[in-house]
Structure 1
Amino acid sequence: MQQNPPPELRRGDFQVLITAEQAWPAFERAVLNARSEITASFRLFDFANRLLSPEALETGETWADLIADALQRGVRVRLVVSDFDPVMAAPLHAAAQDTLKQAQEIAAGLAPDQAARLSVSAVLHPARAGLLPRLAFSPFVMRKLRKLPQRLRPAAASRQGVPQLYPVSQHQKVAVIDREVLYIGGLDLNRRRYDTQEHDQPAHETWADVQLMLRGPEAEEAASHLERFQDEIALRKQPPDGKHIRRTLSAPRRAGFWALSPRTVLKEIEEDHLEAFKQARQLIYLETQYLRSSVIARGLADAARRNPDLSLILILPALPEEVAFDESRGLDARYGMALQAEALQEISAAFGARACIASPVQRRMAAREAPSVLAGSPMIYLHSKVLLTDQDFAMVGSANLNGRSMRWDTEAALRITQQDRIRTLWHALTRHWWQEELPAEALDPARAAAWWQNEIRRNKLRRPEARRGLLVPHDPDRMSELRQPLPGATEDIV
C-alpha cells in the first residue's frame, strides 16, 4: 500500500521520500507526467516491479507497462544499469542481463517508431584489475566459477587463461524527467527494496532508504552528468566540477600491471563530507549502510577534537545484510566488519559521550535469537546515505561511507544548502525514526544528540512494544569474532 508524502514535504517542489512506500509512487507519477524524455541510471532496475500508485496502475501492473505507456506517448527513455563481474558477482550480472531481456520484450510489443525511443544498456565499468592481482586471485576466482550454478556460469569464462576481474560498478540511483524533475538517493528499483515506513514485514525484507524529488537547476545538471559520465570514466571527456550534483568517478589506470584499484577521477562526495565535518558547530547527523572509510572516520574524529560543543548522531544497520540474513562468512564481509570496528572505535574515542550511535529495530519481540536480531527485536536493514550538519548543509545520494563509494564506484549525491530544504529533510528523518512529532529539544542541533541518546538507551531496557520509535543502541561488538583484518589490502575494495 502506498503512502503519499505529507503536504509539508512538498513545499517548494522538494519532496523527502522515506522508503519505497513513498518513493516509488512519486517516481511513477513523475514518469506519467513526462512530456519528452526520461534519463536514468540505477544499479538495479527490474521492469517486472509492481506499480503502486493508482494513477500508474491505469497503465498496467508493472514498470514495463508504465514505460511502454511513456514510449507510446512519444517520450524518449534512456536507462543505464550497472553490469558486474560475471564470476565474482554472478547474480548481479544475471540481474543486469534480465533487465536487458525485459527491455527487448517491451520493445517487441510496440510499433517500430515507439520502440526506437527506448535505450537500455548494462554498462560494465571500464576499469580492470592488472595482471598481477589477476594472477594472485585466479585460484579463488576459478573456485568460485566451479561452484556457480550452470545457469549463472559465463560461457567464455572457463576458456580464459587468467580470469579478468572487474572491481568497479555504477552505483548511482538517479533519474531526470524532462530535464526539470530530479529523483535521487539510495534506492534502486526491484522487489527486495520495497518496505513501508513502519517496517512491518520480516526482517530480511526490510529496507530503510531515502530518496529526494525536486524541481530546479539541479535536474539540468544531473541530466548533463548522466549524458557524460560514461565518457568521463572512459577518459574521453574531462568532468566539470559539480555545483549541485556531487560525484565519485574513477577510470582505468593507464599502466596498471600491479593495481587492483582504478584511478580516482573525482571524489567530490568525500570532499564535501570532510568539509562539512570541519564547518559543523553543533551537530553532525549521518545515516549510512557502511562506515568503513578511515578517511571519513579520521575527519569525524578531528572535528570532535577541535570542537568540544560538537555532537554526533550516527544511524547504522546492526550488521551487514549478507551476515545478518544470508549468514555469509565471506572474506569481504569479514574484512568490512573489521574496518567498520576500527572506524567506530576512533570516532567513539574522539566524541565520547557526545556520540549517539544507534541501529533500527522493529517494535516487536523476535521469535528466536539470530544474527538479524538486536536488543531482542528483528533488525530493520538500513540502506540510506544521508549527511546533515546543523541547519546549514545536507547531502543525500548513493554513496556509503566506505572507500569503495568514496573512491571507486560511480556515485551521485545532491548537495543541499537551502535552509528550508534542510529543515524539511531533518523533520522527515526524525519523524521516520521516532514515528511521532518530537519536542523542540529533540530537533535542536545543540541538544538533539543528548535527547536521542537518552531515549535510545531507555529503548534498550523497554519491552519492544513499549519503545519510543525504532532505534536502540548500536552494538559495535556484535559477532566480533567474524572480523578479519587484512594488512596490506586496500580498504577501498569493500
Structure 2
Amino acid sequence: MPKQLQAEPTEDDFQVLITAEQAWPAFERAVLAARREVTGCFRLFDLSTDLLSPEARAVGDTWSDLIADALRRGVRVRLVVSDFDPVMAAPLHAAAQKTVAQARQIADTLDAEAAGRLSVVAALHPARAGLLPRLALSPFVLRKLRKLPRRLQPAAARRSAVPQLYPVSHHQKVAVIDREILYIGGLDQNRRRYDTLDHDQPAHQTWADVQLLLSGPEAREAADHLDRFQDEIALRRPPHRGKHVRRTLSVPRRAGFWALSPRTVLREIEEDHLAAFERAQNLIYLETQFLRSSAIAAGLAAAARRNPDLSLILILPALPEDVAFDGNQELDARYGMALQAEALDRVMDAFGSRACIASPVQRRMAARDAPSVLSGSPVIYVHSKVLMTDRDFAMIGSANLNGRSLRWDTEAALRITQPDRIERLWKALARHWWQEDLPEAALDPVRAAGWWQQQIRRNQVCRPEARRGFLVPHDPDNMSELQQRLPGATEDIV
C-alpha cells in the first residue's frame, strides 16, 4: 500500500471521494482537525490500517496512532463496529473482536484520562432467528461449526443442540467529526478496501467505492443517528425519520417463533429509490454491488414503461466478489446470482435499447481465462452504492440494491438535492470511469446513456490498451450455470 497519497483538490464543503486513494487521506485529515469528538459506525474497521496522508503520517503509521493522537489532544472517540454471527460469519466475528482488542492496546499506551475518552464496541444486532428456522437450519449450522478451527468455535454454540442464529448486521459506513463534518458512503477501513483511481492492482485487490465528506446540517443529523440507532433497534426508543440522512432499520420480532427475518421499521433508502425512479424524466444512473431486489427491479421497469424518454446507466461488478475471486459456489452465492439474473431480465426487458449496463475491467489483457476476467481483461470490483436521477436528485450510502440492505441491515445514506453538489458528483463519477474530462453529450441526461452505450460497445471489441476508460458491456449470462432459486426462501437473506 502506498504511504503518501493526497486526494485531488475539491470544494471544502462537499468532497466526492472515489476509492480509498482519495477517501482515506480526507478522512484522516478530518480526524486530525477534530477538536471535541469523533464518532462513527462501520461494518469493518481495522485499526492497523496504514495511514496515507502526509499530515497523518507525521503522527504515526496506522489508524491506532491517529486515534491515540486524537485522544491525547482531548478528543473523545466513539466507534461501533458490527459484530456477526460467530458460526455463520466466523471470520467477520473475529475481525470485530480484533478491532476491540486493538482499542484496548491503544488505551494501554495512554494515561487514564485519555484512555477514558475512548469507546470501541463490537455491536451484535439484537434480532435473532426464531426457533422454527433454527431447527430447520441446525444441521447446516452444526456442520459449519464443526469445520471451524477450535479457537473460532464459540463455547455457547458448542454446548447447544440448536445454536442461536444472528442474521442481521450493521452495514453502514459513517463518521461525524465535532458534529460538523460528515463522512459517509460505502467504504469500510481495512487493507482489502484499498484501491487507486487507476485500479492498477491485481483484480482481487481492486475496490471501486464512493465516499462523501461534507459540512452542514447533514452532519448534525448523522450524529443524532449515531447517538440513537442502537436504542432504536433494541426497542428502547421509537425510530425517527431522517431528512438528509436516510436509513434502513430493523428490530427483533416480539413473537418470532417462525421467522428468520427481523421486523423492518424504516426503509427510507428503498422508498427514496422508488420515488426517484418515478420522478425521473431522462436518466437514472446507478452504481451498485448487487441488483437483487425485486422491488427495485419492479420500480425501474415501471418507470421505463411509463416514460419512453427515460434511459438507464447501470454499473455492476462482473460477478459477486466471493464468486469471482474465492470460487464460492455455495447456495447463498447461487441464490444471489439467480435473484440478480431475474432482476436484470426484468429491467432489460422494460428499458430495451435505452439501458446501458456495464462492468469495469482493467486496460490490460488477462493472463488466462477465469471468473475474474471479462472481455479478456481482469475485472475491477464495484462496491459503490450510488443513485442519481437527471440532475436533481442523488443518494450515496452503504445500501446495496438487495433485500438485505433495504429491509434488514442497519444502513445509512445521504440524500442530495443541491444542483451544484449533484453536478460535482456526476462529473467526478463520469471522470472516474472514463479517465478523462467528457464532452457534453456524455453528461447531458438526455444523451448520456446513448453516448456511454456506444463507447462501451467499442471498448468490447478494442484491444484493452486502446479502450476508452474502464467500462465494457456487462455479461448477464456469466457463470449462469451457478444460478439457483431457493423456493420458500426470502430474497432478503442475500
Specify the TM-score bucket, using the shorter chain as the normaliser.
over 0.9
Q: Which residue number corresponds to residue 287 of structure 2?
A: 287
Q: Which residue number corresponds to residue 4 of structure 1?
A: 6
Per the alignment, in what secondary structure is the counterpart of residue 93 of structure 1? helix
How many angstroms apart in 2 are the aligned matches of 1:437 and 1:248? 35
Q: Which residue number corresponds to residue 367 of structure 1?
A: 367
Matched, 1:138 2:135: no
State the shift of 1:316 in Å. Answer: 0.2
Q: Which residue number corresponds to residue 71 of structure 1?
A: 71
Q: Which residue number corresponds to residue 446 of structure 2?
A: 446
How many angstroms apart in 2 are the aligned matches of 1:60 and 1:489? 48
Per the alignment, in what secondary structure is the counterpart of residue 286 of structure 1? strand
Residues 435-473 of structure 1 deviation map (CA, whole Å, 9 limit, x = unaligned): 001111000000000000000001000000000000000
How many angstroms apart in 2 are the aligned matches of 1:3 and 1:45? 20
How many angstroms apart in 2 are the aligned matches of 1:422 and 1:51? 30
- Kept after mapping to 1: 8 A contact 2:168/2:409: yes
AA at the equivalent of 1:279: R
Q: Which contiguous aligned blocks of 4+ residues in structure 1 show a shift greater than 2 angstroms? A: 1-7
- Kept after mapping to 1: 8 A contact 2:21/2:196: yes
Please, which runs of 5 or more residues in structure 2 have no aligned partner? none
- Kept after mapping to 2: 8 A contact 1:130/1:259: yes
- Kept after mapping to 2: 8 A contact 1:5/1:15: no
Matched, 1:278 2:278: yes
How many angstroms apart in 2 are the aligned matches of 1:155 and 1:48? 28
Q: Which residue number corresponds to residue 401 of structure 2?
A: 401
State the shift of 1:308 in Å. Answer: 0.1
State the shift of 1:160 in Å. Answer: 1.0
Residues 96-125 of structure 1 deviation map (CA, whole Å, 9 limit, x = unaligned): 000000000000000000000000000000
AA at the equivalent of 1:431: R
Matched, 1:49 2:49: yes
Residues 19-66 of structure 1 deviation map (CA, whole Å, 9 limit, x = unaligned): 000000000000000000001000000000000000000111000000
Residues 402-452 of structure 1 deviation map (CA, whole Å, 9 limit, x = unaligned): 000000000000000000000000000000000001111000000000000
Matched, 1:429 2:429: yes
How many angstroms apart in 2 are the aligned matches of 1:309 and 1:488? 38
State the shift of 1:291 in Å. Answer: 0.3
State the shift of 1:330 in Å. Answer: 1.1
TM-score by length of 1: 0.99
AA at the equivalent of 1:440: E
- Kept after mapping to 2: 8 A contact 1:5/1:16: no
Per the alignment, in what secondary structure is the counterpart of residue 64 of structure 1? helix
Query: Residues 308, 3 of structure 1: CA spacing in aligned structure 2 closer, same or farther, 3 A cutoff?
Result: farther
How many angstroms apart in 2 are the aligned matches of 1:272 and 1:5? 30
Per the alignment, in what secondary structure is the counterpart of residue 156 of structure 1? helix
Residues 113-142 of structure 1 deviation map (CA, whole Å, 9 limit, x = unaligned): 000000000000000000000000000000
AA at the equivalent of 1:209: D
How many angstroms apart in 1 are the aligned matches of 2:223 and 2:121? 17
Q: Which residue number corresponds to residue 109 of structure 2?
A: 109
State the shift of 1:150 in Å. Answer: 2.0
State the shift of 1:156 in Å. Answer: 2.4
Residues 329-386 of structure 1 deviation map (CA, whole Å, 9 limit, x = unaligned): 1110110000000000000000000000000000000000000000000000000000
Please, which runs of 5 or more residues in structure 1 have no aligned partner? none
Q: Which residue number corresponds to residue 344 of structure 1?
A: 344
The alignment yields a C-alpha RMSD, in angstroms, of 0.7
AA at the equivalent of 1:223: A
Residues 288-339 of structure 1 deviation map (CA, whole Å, 9 limit, x = unaligned): 0000000000000000000000000000000000000000111101100000
AA at the equivalent of 1:10: E
Per the alignment, in what secondary structure is the counterpart of residue 11 of structure 2? helix
State the shift of 1:475 in Å. Answer: 0.1
Query: Residues 313, 3 of structure 1: CA spacing in aligned structure 2 closer, same or farther, 3 A cutoff?
Result: farther
Residue correspondences, number? 492
How many angstroms apart in 1 are the aligned matches of 2:7 and 2:424? 12
